[in-house]
Amino acid sequence: MHALVTGAGGFLGRYVCEMLLARGDSVRGFARGDYPELTAAGVEMVRGDLADRAAVVEACRGVDCVLHVGGKVGVWGRWFDYFNANVHGTLNLLSACAEQGVPRMVFTSSPSVTFDGADQRGVDNSAPYPTKWLAHYPHSKALAEQFVLSQDNTPVRPRDGSGGRGATLRTCSLRPHLVWGPRDHHLTARLVERSRSGQLRRVGTGTNRVDMVYVENAAAAHLQAADALAEPDPACAGKAYFLSQGEPVVCWEWIDQILALAGEPPVSKSIGARAAYAAGALLETKHWARRDFAREPRMTRFVARQLATDHWFDIEATRQDFGYKPAISTEEGMQRLGDWLRSLPLRSKA
């Protein structure tokens, strides 16, 4: 197929591009930056912003499927910025698909779209959206996901120019949780940086269990979902799916394992869950008062609850509806992550 990958230069987006190329698909990447290594690999790179409708429409010309991986991540910033990238940008893509006759879209969402700060144990795809939000990121992703799913099976312009009816857009949403692996300059880098600066604290009892997913498994799931949407009456169409390794880990034990791979000691200091939440609320208030949106507070309410609660998911529907199965085990993934960390110059940063 001819695929458009938004956020092609990002951690997950780059793996998606590479997997598409490896199996012989034609890949167009859409990103705000310049990524010559992707161009050299065979990706047709297009620079643009998701909020620029004209650029998005042109990027969708002639493609068979959009894998919408791009967006604004993080837990701090202005609502306008999250809305503009994640909601407005997604609406632009949906409109472009209709205009350019694109028949498939796979949207990269997040399990945080169902998180209200409480424990989540064995939650399946029927989990409702919360009525309160602890950060702009999950709120904006939830809105975008709802738009994507609501547009499943809606008409798109036929590509033959006949003006006839029958062509429709099939959509689904994937919710990968804590994506990690080699070339991770977000989760792994942040843990190592906080450890080396002495700012990393265990939040809560340290026994909470969480799901996570190795990056190549998450990328492969995007290709599987895209292929499934091409089938007649796809089971995954119009639905959202959690992605994970299928084996929850104890959050803080796993964090210690990642730190060990980077040559860092285990986390030795801790803070209670309530104290961390209160600290997050206080720091958010101070940052808002200063209009400091560029620097993320050392703690936020969302991060405090994420680090102290259980959140693991039932992925049985993910397996059944489009055949997802983690091909790379957690043990093998950790070995690959360690090899990558050891290959970095002086192991000075992740």
- Which active-site residues does the annotation give? 137
Cα dist from 101 to 45, 106, 156, 170, 225, whole Å: 21, 15, 5, 11, 19
Please state the separation of Cα 88 from the chain's center in Å. 17
Whole-angstrom Cα distance, residue 99 to residue 159?
Answer: 9
DSSP 39-91: HHHT-EEEE--TT-HHHHHHHTTT-SEEEE-----SS-S-HHHHIIIIIIHHH
Cα dist from 208 to 107, 159, 180, 242, whole Å: 29, 51, 19, 19
Structure tokens at 113: 């779209």
Whole-angstrom Cα distance, residue 85 to residue 152?
Answer: 21
Which amino acid, one-letter code, is at 11? Answer: F
Whole-angstrom Cα distance, residue 284 to residue 288?
Answer: 6
Structure tokens at 48: 């643009």
Do 239 and 149 meet the contact criterion of CB atoms below 8 Å apart?
yes
Q: What proportions of the chain, in percent to the nearest 5, are helix, strand and coil?
A: 45, 15, 40
